[in-house]
Structure 1
Amino acid sequence: MKKIITYVMIFTMLITTAAVSMAVPASAAVKKQSKRQVTLIRSYNKIYRKCKKNFKYDGSQLEMNQDSYKEFKIWDKELNRVYKLLYKGLSAKQKKVLKKKQIRWIKKKEKEAAKEAAQWAGGSGQPLARNMVLITETKKRLRWLIRTYA
């Protein structure tokens, strides 16, 4: 009796495993990270830690505005570096597609930043509000570039 129960359990596990593996589409399979991807992720994490350490956003409004601008410039510089690096390795068709997507993204990012800044209507927090959107969107785009093209 114990043998039968054991066989039934094993059979059930095999059927369940087979069903689950067939239900997962190939696109959902875990992709192994390339060396380039790992390197770029490390660079991202290093900048993230540096910014978290250096920009506390606990000073005067002027200081927070200045810090947010400095942080945005750091992320923007990294985005441009990664973009150029990845762009070099693409085919002509891929370059055209990425360039088009990048231009569309820049317009969207600027529009979102302007929308957020407008809510402050010239107040002292307007630069901070704008810069925080630029930082957030730039970091998202950087992660997307690494995940998609590295």
Structure 2
Amino acid sequence: MKKIITYVMIFTMLITTAAVSMAVPASAAVKKQSKRQVTLIRSYNKIYRKCKKNFKYDGSQLEMNQDSYKEFKIWDKELNRVYKLLYKGLSAKQKKVLKKKQIRWIKKKEKEAAKEAAQWAGGSGQPLARNMVLITETKKRLRWLIRIYA
């Protein structure tokens, strides 16, 4: 009886394994991250943790405005560093395409930040509102660059 159960278990396992391997075509395999991507993601995460630790946004309005500006500058610096690093490894055609996309993105980012800031027109929270959009959009763009070009 034990032998029969063992054979049934082995047979079931073989069928299940075969079905799973046939169900997932090779083209659907998850793309392995490059060493460069891993390194850049680690750098991103390190900056993220540093900003989370250093910028609490729990002080006066002036302090929050200043902190948001400092945080934006950190993310902007990282974006520019990563952009330059990745740009160097591209073909002339890829460079042209990326540069165009980057210019469009900068205009869009600035427009969104201005739109958000306009809702606070003249208020003490206006710089914070603008900077938070800039931070969010810059972080998104940084992740996009790493995912697409690293």
State the identity %: 99
Distance 1:10 1:84, change over 3 A: same
SS of corresponding position for 2:31:
coil
SS of corresponding position for 1:127:
helix
Cα distance per residue 1:100-138 (max 9 Å; x no partner): 110010011001101100111110000000000000000
Cα distance per residue 1:53-96 (max 9 Å; x no partner): 00000000000000000000000000000000000000001101
- Is 1:86 the equivalent of 2:86? yes
Give distance in 2, aligned partners of 1:98 and 1:28: 27
Q: How many residues align?
A: 150
Give distance in 2, aligned partners of 1:26 and 1:145: 26
| Residue of structure 2 equivalent to 1:45 | 45
Give distance in 2, aligned partners of 1:27 and 1:73: 40
Deviation of 1:6 after TM superposition, in Å, equals 10
Deviation of 1:30 after TM superposition, in Å, equals 0.9
TM-score (norm. length: structure 1): 0.85
Distance 1:4 1:39, change over 3 A: same
SS of corresponding position for 2:79:
helix
SS of corresponding position for 1:58:
coil
Q: CA RMSD in A?
A: 2.2
Give distance in 2, aligned partners of 1:28 and 1:124: 51
Distance 1:23 1:82, change over 3 A: same
Deviation of 1:29 after TM superposition, in Å, equals 3.0
Give distance in 2, aligned partners of 1:103 and 1:24: 39
Cα distance per residue 1:17-53 (max 9 Å; x no partner): 7787677676653111111111101100100000000
| Residue of structure 2 equivalent to 1:19 | 19
